[in-house]
Amino acid sequence: MPTITPSDLPSVALLRKFQNGHDFTDHYCTDIDGDIPLATFVTAFYTTPLFRLERFILTWLVRRPSRDEGARAFATGAAERFAAWQVEARTDHQLLAAAGRTRSWFMVEPVAMAGGVATRLHFGSAVVARHRAEGGKPALGVVFHALLGFHKLYSQALLRAARSRLIRARRNFSAHEVS
């Protein structure tokens, strides 16, 4: 089973702006052999069977149907929206997407490994606190706290699923390349 590691956000992370004492942020990473472009990672993430289940639920909850082609367009920058998400910020190596008070963040980072090139896949999220009436403290709410344990497990499962999808795709490509 691949190692998914909770970690501090890199100093360049677009998600850092939500580390302000009011909002919630998390960050997980894993390493994978090879040079993985951001668009390939984001496409793999949004097209895993696990995330397709979330997309199906969102179709019914927020009436935003989505398809794998839309995920690819979103990942490559050809589209600014996908399902419930909209691009908030993008660089060559990062994508920050917003859906209501939730943010999803992706980053790829080359890492040196003893046998070649590898990529560190970063995935994180933020939940923006609700701002109360004037003078009130921003708060995340009871529902957020009740679902936090599930959220952490789900985030790790999503990153693991994307990593597995990338590894399978590379194996399939290599098998076709040899034959």
109-129 tens-digit pLDDT: 999 877 788 999 999 999 887
Q: Give domain status of residue 22, yes or no.
A: no
Residue 152: pLDDT above 70?
yes
Q: Which of 48-57, 63-72, 91-100, 148-157 has the highest mean pLDDT?
A: 91-100
Q: Give domain status of residue 161, yes or no.
A: yes
Residue-range definition of the domain harbouring residue 145 = 5-12+27-130+139-173
In percent, the amount of the chain with pLDDT more than 70 equals 77
Q: Give domain status of residue 110, yes or no.
A: yes
Average of per-residue pLDDT across 72-100: 93
Q: Give domain status of residue 53, yes or no.
A: yes
The total of structural domains in the chain comes to 1
Q: Give domain status of residue 89, yes or no.
A: yes
Q: Give domain status of residue 52, yes or no.
A: yes
Q: What is the pLDDT of residues 104-114, one digit of tens each?
A: 999 999 998 77
Q: Measure the CA–CA gap between 118 and 22, rounded to whole angstroms.
A: 35
Residue 1: pLDDT above 60?
no
Sequence-ordered list of residues with C-beta below 8 angstroms from that of 37, at least 6 positions apart, any chain: 108
How confident is the model at residue 129, as a pLDDT? 79
Residue 58: pLDDT above 90?
no
How confident is the model at residue 143, as a pLDDT? 65
Q: Which residue has the higher pLDDT, 141 or 3?
A: 3
Average of per-residue pLDDT across 57-78: 77
pTM exceeds 0.75 for this model: yes
Q: Measure the CA–CA gap between 68 and 48, rounded to whole angstroms.
A: 9
How confident is the model at residue 144, as a pLDDT? 63
Q: Give domain status of residue 20, yes or no.
A: no
How confident is the model at residue 179, as a pLDDT? 34
- Given CA atoms 160, 55, 123, 126 in this order, what sign does their dihedral have? negative
Q: What are phi and psi of 12, to 5 degrees?
A: -90, 0
